[in-house]
Chains A and B, each alone.
Chain A
Amino acid sequence: MSNLKIPALAGLLGDFGSKNFNWNKIRQVANPEIIVAFTLFTILMFIAIFGQFIQTHDPMQGDLLKRFTPPGSEGYLLGSDHLGRDLWSRMVDGLQWSMACAMTANLLNLFIGSTLGLLAAEKPGMLRIVINQLVYTLQSFPGLVILICVVVVVGQGFMTLVMTLGLLSWVVYMRVVYAEASSLFQREYVQAARLAGVSRWSIMFGHVLPGVRASLFVIFAFHFAGLLIAESALSFLGLGAPLGVPTWGNMLAESRQYMIRAPWMLIVPAGAIVTAVVTMNLVGDGIASLSRKKGRSIDV
Chain B
Amino acid sequence: MSSSSEVNSNKIDKRLNNASLIGPFIPFIQQFTRLLVLLFMVTTLLFFMLRLAGDPALVLAGNDASPEQLAAIRAQYGLDKPLVIQYFNYMMNLVQGDFGKSLASGEPAMGKVLTMLPATLLIAGLAMLISIIIAIPLGAWLGFKPERPDRRAVSGIIFIFQGVPGFVTALIFIQVFAVNLRLLPSLGMEWGTIEYINFFADFSIPIPIPSKTWILPSCSLAWFLMPSLTRVVAANTSEAMREDYIRTARAGGASGKSVLWRHALPNALLGAAALIGTQFAFLMGGAVITETIFAWPGIGWLLIESTQTLDFPVVQALAFCIAILVFIVNAITELSFQFLDPRLRSKGN
| A and B are interacting partners | yes
Which A residues fall within an 8 A CB radius of B? 133, 136-137, 139-145, 148-150, 152-154, 225, 229, 232-233, 236-237, 252, 255-256, 259-260, 263, 266, 270, 273-274, 277-278, 281-282, 285
Interface CB pairs A-B, < 8 A, 24 = A136-B38, A137-B42, A139-B281, A140-B38, A141-B322, A141-B326, A144-B285, A144-B286, A145-B284, A148-B304, A148-B307, A149-B46, A149-B49, A149-B315, A150-B49, A152-B53, A152-B310, A233-B167, A252-B168, A266-B171, A273-B164, A277-B164, A278-B163, A281-B162
How far is the CB of B142 from the nearest CB of chain A, in Å? 15
B281: chain A residues within 8 A (beta carbon): 139-143
- Chain A interface mostly helix, strand, loop or mixed? helix
Residue from B42, B165, B292 in contact with A229 in the complex, judged by beta carbons closer than 8 Å: B165
Q: Contact between A144 and B163 (Cβ–Cβ < 8 Å)?
A: no
- Residue with the greatest number of chain B CB neighbours at <10 A, chosen from A232, A263, A274: A274
Does B211 have its Cβ within 8 Å of any Cβ on chain A? no
Q: Contact between A237 and B326 (Cβ–Cβ < 8 Å)?
A: no
Q: Contact between A145 and B175 (Cβ–Cβ < 8 Å)?
A: no
B327: chain A residues within 8 A (beta carbon): 140
Q: A142–B322 Cα gap in the complex (Å)? A: 8
* Number of A-B contacts defined by CB within 8 Å: 112
Q: Hey, what's the 0/1 contact readout for B159-181 against A, CB within 8 Å counting as 1?
A: 11011110110011011000100
Does B332 have its Cβ within 8 Å of any Cβ on chain A? no
Does B34 have its Cβ within 8 Å of any Cβ on chain A? yes
- Closest residue of chain B to A279 (Cβ to Cβ) is B163
Q: A59–B13 Cα gap in the complex (Å)? A: 60
| Contact-residue bracket for chain B | 35 or more
Does B58 have its Cβ within 8 Å of any Cβ on chain A? no
Q: A232–B52 Cα gap in the complex (Å)? A: 26
Does B241 have its Cβ within 8 Å of any Cβ on chain A? no
A256: chain B residues within 8 A (beta carbon): 171
How far is the CB of A184 from the nearest CB of chain B, in Å? 14
Q: A141–B281 Cα gap in the complex (Å)? A: 6
How far is the CB of A299 from the nearest CB of chain B, in Å? 10
- Residue with the greatest number of chain B CB neighbours at <10 A, chosen from A260, A270, A281: A270
Known: A152-B307, A152-B308, A229-B165. A252 touches B171 (CB 8 A): yes
A225: chain B residues within 8 A (beta carbon): 163
A259: chain B residues within 8 A (beta carbon): 174-175, 179
- Chain B interface mostly helix, strand, loop or mixed? helix
Residue from B42, B175, B288, B310 in contact with A148 in the complex, judged by beta carbons closer than 8 Å: B288
B318: chain A residues within 8 A (beta carbon): 145
A255: chain B residues within 8 A (beta carbon): 171
Q: A260–B323 Cα gap in the complex (Å)? A: 40
Q: Contact between A144 and B289 (Cβ–Cβ < 8 Å)?
A: yes
Q: A132–B227 Cα gap in the complex (Å)? A: 28
Q: A203–B52 Cα gap in the complex (Å)? A: 44
Q: Which of B44-60 contact A (CB under 8 A)?
A: 46, 49-50, 52-53
- Residue with the greatest number of chain B CB neighbours at <10 A, chosen from A139, A148, A149, A274: A149
Q: Hey, what's the 0/1 contact readout for B278-299 against A, CB within 8 Å counting as 1?
A: 1001101110110010000000
Does B319 have its Cβ within 8 Å of any Cβ on chain A? yes
- Closest residue of chain B to A282 (Cβ to Cβ) is B159
- Beyond the given pairs A141-B42, A149-B46, A259-B174, 17 more chain A to chain B contacts, judged by CB atoms under 8 angstroms and listed by A's residue number, are A137-B41, A140-B323, A142-B284, A142-B322, A144-B288, A145-B319, A152-B53, A152-B307, A152-B310, A225-B163, A229-B165, A237-B292, A237-B304, A263-B175, A266-B175, A273-B165, A281-B159
Q: A285–B179 Cα gap in the complex (Å)? A: 36
B278: chain A residues within 8 A (beta carbon): 139
- Residue with the greatest number of chain B CB neighbours at <10 A, chosen from A145, A237, A263, A277: A145
Known: A140-B326, A150-B49, A237-B304. A274 touches B285 (CB 8 A): no
A142: chain B residues within 8 A (beta carbon): 281-282, 284-285, 288, 322, 326
Q: A232–B46 Cα gap in the complex (Å)? A: 24
